Amino acid sequence: MASTYQLLEKAERLELLAHQIYVVLAGRFGGETRELFRRLAAEEEQHAARIRLLTARYRQDRKLVASLAADTTLMDRLLIEAEEALAAATAGAWDGDPKAALLGAAELERRFSQAHAQALSQDAHPDLRAFFEQLAEQDKAHLVLLQG
């Protein structure tokens, strides 16, 4: 179990890794595929910024999160998967195959949405839980975009 602050740090890191993956993929493809990856990179960067703002907000009101514990097992696994996906994209694993890159990114988004949805216990503050549910929904929207 991790503190809510540790969960938020991991969630931000996951968003930043997704951003980096999309930046790398945008640089590997052209046309509509490039533009889609650029758009997703910008949105993931925005998600990370929102998590930083949320962390700062809750730091001022410790009673909302100090006693909560979160299970980060899934998020920890996804961080490893995201790091591996970034390394693969950087190494050119999907070069020349935009369909494979889109499918790989879609699978990551599907898994990210699960992590966000499961990140907090039902005991979490409703605003915090709603925030992660919203991130999960945005990841699902990314999935729809990637699947065309």
pLDDT of residue 24: 98
Local structure of 1: helix, strand or coil: coil
Report the CATH number that the domain containing residue 54 is assigned in CATH: 1.20.1260
Q: Count structural domains, the chain.
A: 1
pLDDT in tens, 54-94: 888 777 766 555 555 667 788 899 999 999 999 999 999 99
Q: How far apart are CA 138 and CA 135, in angstroms?
A: 5
3-state per-residue secondary structure call for 78-109: HHHHHHHHHHHHHCCCCCCCHHHHHHHHHHHH
List the structure tokens of 8.
Answer: 């938020």
List the structure tokens of 115.
Answer: 């992590």
Which residues form the domain of 68?
Answer: 2-147
pLDDT in tens, 113-127: 877 666 655 566 777
